[in-house]
């Protein structure tokens, strides 16, 4: 893989393969692919039955990456995720038994059901790509990515994610119920014998491996970004802090995420330079979880998506 054209072809193949089993969510599929090749993490929100788990499983299969799933519950402990030291009588000492976090792609299902202590353990792994147990640091896979799911319809027994942890997610991806045409495609897929547990049997191909992902990260960093585009990103992020409906706007990490995703989108389109549209199309996914609305705005029914849309409309597009 030498240039953006090669990267574009590989990324489009990955999106196409996952699209064989995920219907009507092409942008969401693009986002999960870009998340892992950028070395980020994503929060996936959608009602039950919208293929959140299937999409991440299909991603790991297509990228030929190790995959583990953890069902988050109120009694989940940090050691259930990270692992623990156990006494080995043969060695007359303690050895570290790795937890499910030692993988390439981790699906944290219903992540907001775990208590704060467990969230903190996950946060260290997301930020450092390593965990510390009994004073010893253990490295995780270099392509480690967390895809955490939330159900927006049910809040009983949940723990809101801390702002510090939300800010570690590169994107927040929203899945919705499919339209009639997409739902008809889904029924056709299942009528033809689709088995979600057998992706290989559904002719879903494997298009890359770990080394390809690491090489993609190098290529995705190469598109040029003119100063006018960087100023455009700054203006948008500053706009989230000035909005009269916003209590807390995006952090600088949001601006960095917007820059990275814009460069990745340019690569996906086969370009070695970023244009304003690359920024605009990624702004909702990168910023929506980094904005906290004022209580009065929430009472009035103002939505974060509306605030972002208004900011994009009011921010002058560089020519």
The pLDDT score that the predictor gives to residue 31 is 96
Element (H, E) at 96: strand 93-98
Domains of the chain, residue spans: 1-222, 223-319
pLDDT level of residue 154 (50, 70, 90 thresholds): low
Domain boundaries 1-222, corresponding CATH code: 3.40.50.300
Q: What is the pLDDT of residues 214-227, one digit of tens each?
A: 999 999 999 999 99
List, for residues 82-134, the tens digit of each pLDDT value.
888 787 777 777 788 888 999 999 999 988 888 888 888 888 888 888 888 87
- Mean pLDDT over 259-277 rounds to 95
Classified as helix, coil or strand, 95 is strand
- 175-184 tens-digit pLDDT: 988 889 989 9
| Percentage with pLDDT > 70 across the chain | 97
Distance from first CA to last CA of the chain, Å, rounded?
32
Q: What is each CA distance from 25 to 1, 65, 176, 183, 199, in whole angstroms?
A: 27, 22, 9, 11, 18
CA pair distance 317, 61, nearest whole angstrom: 39
Residue range 188-209, pLDDT digits in tens: 888 888 888 778 777 788 998 8
Residue 1 has pLDDT above 60, yes or no: no
The secondary structure of 105-164 as a DSSP string is: EEEEETGGGS-HHHHHHHHHHHHHSEEEETTEEEE--TT-EEEEEE-TT--TT--PPPHH
Chain mean pLDDT for the chain: 90
d(CA 190, CA 3): 39
Confirm or reject CATH 3.40.50.300 for domain 223-319, answering yes or no.
Answer: no
H or E element at residue 172: strand 171-174
Quote the pLDDT of residue 149.
92
> For a pLDDT cut of 90, what percent of the chain falls above it?
60
pLDDT at 156: 62
User: So what's the pLDDT on residue 157?
Assistant: 60
pLDDT of residue 114: 85
């Amino acid at each position: 893989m030498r240039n953006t054209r090669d990267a574009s072809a590989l990324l489009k193949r990955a999106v196409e393969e996952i699209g064989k089993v995920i219907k009507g969510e092409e942008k969401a599929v693009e986002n999960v692919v870009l998340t892992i090749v950028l070395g980020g993490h994503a929060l996936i929100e959608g009602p039950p039955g919208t293929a959140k788990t299937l999409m991440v499983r299909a991603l790991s299969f297509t990228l030929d990456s190790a995959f583990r799933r953890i069902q988050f519950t109120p009694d989940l402990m940090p050691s259930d995720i990270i692992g623990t030291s156990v006494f080995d009588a043969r060695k007359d000492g303690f050895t570290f038994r790795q937890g499910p976090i030692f993988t390439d792609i981790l699906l944290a299902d219903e992540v907001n059901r775990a208590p704060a202590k467990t969230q903190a353990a996950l946060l260290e792994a997301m930020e450092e790509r390593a965990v510390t147990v009994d004073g010893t640091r253990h490295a995780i896979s270099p392509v480690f990515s967390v895809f955490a799911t939330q159900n927006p319809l049910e809040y009983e027994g949940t723990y809101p994610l801390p702002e510090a942890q939300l800010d570690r997610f590169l994107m927040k991806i929203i899945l919705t119920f499919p339209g009639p045409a997409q739902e008809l495609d889904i029924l056709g897929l299942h009528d033809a014998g689709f088995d979600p547990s057998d992706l290989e049997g559904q002719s879903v191909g494997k298009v890359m491996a770990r080394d390809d992902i690491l090489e993609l990260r190098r290529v995705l960093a190469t598109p040029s970004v003119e100063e006018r585009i960087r100023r455009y990103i700054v203006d948008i992020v500053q706009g989230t802090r000035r909005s009269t409906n916003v209590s807390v706007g995006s952090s600088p990490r949001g601006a960095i995420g917007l820059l990275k995703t814009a460069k990745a989108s340019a690569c996906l389109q086969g370009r070695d330079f970023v244009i304003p549209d690359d920024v605009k199309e990624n702004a909702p996914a990168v910023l929506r979880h980094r904005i906290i609305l004022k209580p009065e705005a929430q009472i009035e029914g103002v939505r974060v998506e509306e605030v972002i849309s208004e900011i994009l409309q009011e921010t002058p597009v560089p020519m």
